[in-house]
Structure 1
Amino acid sequence: MPRDDRRSSDERRLFRGATTRLDVPRDWRRTFVPRPTYDADAFGRLSERIARFLGTGQFLVYMTATILFWVAWNIFAPESVRFDQYPFIFLTLALSLQASYAAPLILLAQNRQEARDRVQYERDRDVDARTRADMEFLAREMASLRMAVGEVATRDYLRSELRSLLADLDANRREDGRV
């Protein structure tokens, strides 16, 4: 009996068109409104740009100038145009909001950097392993060449052998000439 025949009609409807791949989640129900999607890499790149800017002296200067202007305006401006009185609650709220968005953006940028560092570490480890294997191969080759060179006759050895042969020939000539 086929497997689909044992399922109820509801189950067959749910599993109709379901993928058999394990790395793709099943879509259990139909949606009439499409789910919002976003490009995670584009959002990550934007968060890295923001995090880089938040870590600069330029940001600190802009933030300090803004806060000083805010405080000075709300202290020295005419009462009718002040928008945040002395405890500066609106300023505190704005700074808290900025910090609540900055922290996750900085963490996201750090996570992306950590992922890049991990990939670079893997590449460096692979290059190191290949380099180590190449060095071991070259060391074995050098050792075999040294052993081979050790068995090869050198120029000095050949000269000494030729001299001894010449000496033997001279000795043989002398003996032949005497006899």
Structure 2
Amino acid sequence: MAQLPLADLAQRLLRKPAHALDPEERRVLDSIDSGTIVSRDAADEADARSSLGDRLADRVAAVGGSWGFIIAFTVVLLGWMLLNTDVLAHFGMAFDPYPYIFLNLMLSTLAAIQAPVIMMSQNRQAAKDRLAASLDYETNLRAELDILRLHEKLDGIVLDRLAALEAKIDALAKSVPTA
């Protein structure tokens, strides 16, 4: 197929003027025009765009939202309480006796820091999902347009063959003697 300007491709395939194209549609038409592929891995794209803070937020959310963290944190809390209630209290050295005010302060601080970090990770995941949807749309649009172009080519081949058959029929009709 001869390369067509973007405006011609937009009008012929999408029935839109070039200035009305979305960025995804423009990328698809550019890839059709250049003969390149349009599909990309959303995870790779998101990782390439992520900052150090984004990756750190993902790690904190992955660790903080795991059973390993919950079990380890429970063991630490029970150890803290046991240590300050029985072991150190027995020697009069408990640094945070019941009602564990220092432990409550540390838990509140952890929650105050961990919650926004987890929210950042969720926002990043939502951005990844939007990127994946956009890339899926581009791939689906490219596939749909390629199928449409194949239909046009097949229709052209069928019309050419019909025209050739009509010409042969006309030639045969002219060559048959009339009685």
Whether TM-score is above 0.5 comes out as yes
Unpaired segments of 5 or more residues in structure 2? Answer: 1-49, 166-171
- Taking only aligned residues, the RMSD between alpha carbons, in angstroms, comes to 2.6
Unpaired segments of 5 or more residues in structure 1? Answer: 1-39, 154-160, 166-179
Shift of 1:97: 0.9
* Residue 120 (str. 1) matches residue 138 (str. 2): no
Distance between the aligned counterparts of 1:91 and 1:117, measured in 2?
38
Shift of 1:119: 2.2
What corresponds to 1:19 in structure 2?
A: none
Moved more, 102-111 or 139-148: 139-148
Amino acid aligned to 1:118: R
Amino acid aligned to 2:126: E
Shift of 1:115: 2.1
Distance 1:73 1:108, change over 3 A: same
Q: Which string of whole-angstrom CA distances, capped at 9 and with x for unpartnered residues, describes residues 21-53 of structure 1? A: xxxxxxxxxxxxxxxxxxx92122212111111
Q: Greater Rg, structure 1 or structure 2?
A: 1
* Residue 107 (str. 1) matches residue 99 (str. 2): no
| SS across alignment from 1:81 | coil
Percent of matched pairs sharing the same residue:
30
Q: Which string of whole-angstrom CA distances, capped at 9 and with x for unpartnered residues, describes residues 133-164 of structure 1? A: 101111222233344445666xxxxxxx9xxx
Count, aligned residues: 119
**Which of the pair has the greater relative contact order for Cα pairs under 8 Å at 6+ separation?**
2
Q: Which string of whole-angstrom CA distances, capped at 9 and with x for unpartnered residues, describes residues 101-123 of structure 1? A: 11100111112222222222222
Distance between the aligned counterparts of 1:78 and 1:89, measured in 2?
16
Amino acid aligned to 2:80: W
Q: TM-score, normalised by structure 2?
A: 0.57
